[in-house]
Structure 1
């Protein structure tokens, strides 16, 4: 009998977060924008991100991929849309969250210290839609394609 359980993407993020010295790409910080690099790709993909204070993402989805992310160092604020407005969730080092394929959020380093996080997506990211929140409603602003936008 085949095991049909899905992998625990947060556990995968935790395993990568536990060994930054083993990453195939050295961690770095970019003063112009958040830095990111793909660490692995199998039936899922793993990304490392670094965030200097004030750096963040736009409101976006993951193009139908589910995922998880874990804060390795620092603190990140994830904002999700609820009741027509953004709701913040503060995630300190060691905290993480899983999300489904319809999840829309933005993530920002609102702290005073740099932050690092590991993100895992399944299936691999092919596209992401960026949104605007206007009059309490999400409106698609742009669709970014893998291999073109990142």
Structure 2
């Protein structure tokens, strides 16, 4: 939200604060990716945290994970991230792998919008203007009246 007050466009899943942000800013000025909350809950209820199926379904994700596992980002210690990747594959608690292809597609939309400067700036200005709802002034005023009963 702090970045949004400065015009940053949000890329994220549609949960938590991003739900409120989308209501204020508009989904057309955000880049949403990933499973719906219902899909996430269904996987959690089913205990589906193993990412091997997600990786098998995505050649791009497999390539990324193999590059990390192979030491591309740690040439001084090629095995540095082997445990991390193994753990992610066996128990992807936050379903990162399940959202990877959707994230990739959203990032492509970010790049596309960035190259359309008129639309990028339009979204940035509207983001800034519509983020005022999240100001601490409004929040404190609501807490003071509704929760603390300090304004009665």
TM bin (shorter chain): under 0.3
TM-score, normalised by the number of residues in structure 1: 0.23
Q: State the structure with bigger RCO (CA 8 A, min sep 6), 1 or 2.
A: 2
- Structure showing greater radius of gyration is 2
TM-score under structure 2 normalisation? 0.22
